[in-house]
Amino acid sequence: MLIIAIGALFACTDGTVVEVEPAVDLDLRIERLDQELFHATPDSMAAVSLRAYATYGDFYRAYIEDILQGAPINDPRLAMVLHRFVLDPDWSAAQRAVDTVLGDLEPQRAQLELAFERLRTLFPDSLVPRVIAFNSGYNYGIFPTDSVLGIGVEWFIGKDHPVIGYLAPETFPQYVKDRMAPGMLVPSALKGWLLVHYTKDIRGADLLTNLVETGKVMVILDALLPETDAELKFAFSKEQLAWCESNEYLMWKDIVGKDQLFSKDNEVIARLMNDGPFTNGFPHESPGHVGEWIGYRMVMAYVRANPDATLPQLLAMDDARAILATYKP
């Protein structure tokens, strides 16, 4: 009965957006590990670290050992490592930019709260994570775990900030820096959460399955953030999104003409699904990871053709060919 009731809460109204009316209320917070560390006095770092471990538990261990790769959590030198980190001129400058550009993160908190209310409406048993903001020293922008959505807030201070200019271009090419905008924080965080928690294990699957499973995530993301510009959800530029819209048929013709749709070749799949400044084999005006957009268009075609299907039912579908049957680019 619950799924039937939820089905009435979303509809594809204009052929491009699935709308969800939230039926639950949440009180979501963004916990500020970044400020707890960078606003502490240097001589109190040992006590601050112990308090953070008590507050954040295993996520703090992951932050120290996996994200910062600083020292084992029980290493007596950890306070010294953190002391050097928060006093480093580059990382402290990045944190000051976070404090100035992003402030208390209230607009982002409100967006995330509404998005997770929509997600809980669609999937009543879904977990609402703790949201923890941290400064990763540009190691991780989004770090989802089983129960925590971690956000490296220094990744979203704006591409024109001087700190971004100091990042090595061989590690941080321009197309990556172009995405380091405040408006990318919420869609990036939600996409990261959905990709970890709402996709099947498709290792070894063909290209079609990769397109469809990623497309499902993008349709859900669309439902969670209907007010957000599409280019932010796809991490494209406006020009790249326009190129996709103008060249959908030509991309599809290329895939089908090369007999790649059912290929399990990792190189074939990586060409369309992996990130990059553009997609190999397509003009330089194309975006990387263009398979996200193709998959989204495929799944949206199925949603339009099956208006009574719910998003939970869509997510549970195992037959990618059933979704392919409705796609006419």
**CB 183, CB 232: distance < 8 Å:** yes
Tell me, yes or no, whether 192 and 317 share the same domain.
no
pLDDT for 7: 37
Burial label, 309 (beta-carbon count in 10 A; 0-12, 13-18, 19+): middle
More confident residue, 104 or 201: 104
Are 100 and 213 in a shared domain?
no
Among 58, 18, 7, 51, which Cα is nearest to 226's? 18
Please check whether residues 42 and 62 belong to one and the same domain. Answer: yes
pLDDT value of residue 38: 97
Q: Report pLDDT for 6.
A: 33
- Say what the pTM is: 0.93
Based on the fold, state whether residues 184 and 216 are members of the same structural domain.
Answer: no
> How many structural domains compose the chain?
2
Q: Is residue 313 part of a domain?
A: yes
- Between the alpha carbon of residue 130 and those of residues 50, 145, 156, the distances in Å are 19, 10, 19
Query: Does 60 lie in the same domain as 125?
Result: yes
Same-domain status, 176 and 304: no
| Cα 131 to Cα 26: distance, rounded to the nearest angstrom | 13
What is the average per-residue pLDDT within 158-179?
94
Say how far apart CA 168 and CA 252 lie, in whole Å: 36
Shared-domain flag, residues 263 and 297: yes
Give all strands of the β-sheet with 30-32 in edge-to-edge order.
30-32, 130-134, 148-152, 142-144
Residues 6+ apart with CB under 8 A from 167: 138, 177
What mean pLDDT, rounded, does the chain reach?
Answer: 93
d(CA 275, CA 297): 18
Going by pLDDT thresholds of 50, 70 and 90, the confidence category of residue 16 is low
Domain that holds residue 253: 207-324
Q: Rounded to 10 degrees, what is the CA torsion of 85, 88, 91, 94?
A: 140
pLDDT in tens, 244-299: 999 999 999 999 999 999 999 999 999 999 999 999 999 999 999 999 999 999 99
pLDDT in tens, 120-161: 999 999 999 999 999 999 999 999 999 999 999 999 999 999
C-alpha span between 98 and 45 (Å, rounded): 20
Q: What's the confidence (pLDDT) of residue 152? A: 98
Token code pair at residue 223: 């439902």
Whether the pLDDT of residue 15 is over 60: the answer is: no
Res. 13: pLDDT tops 50: no
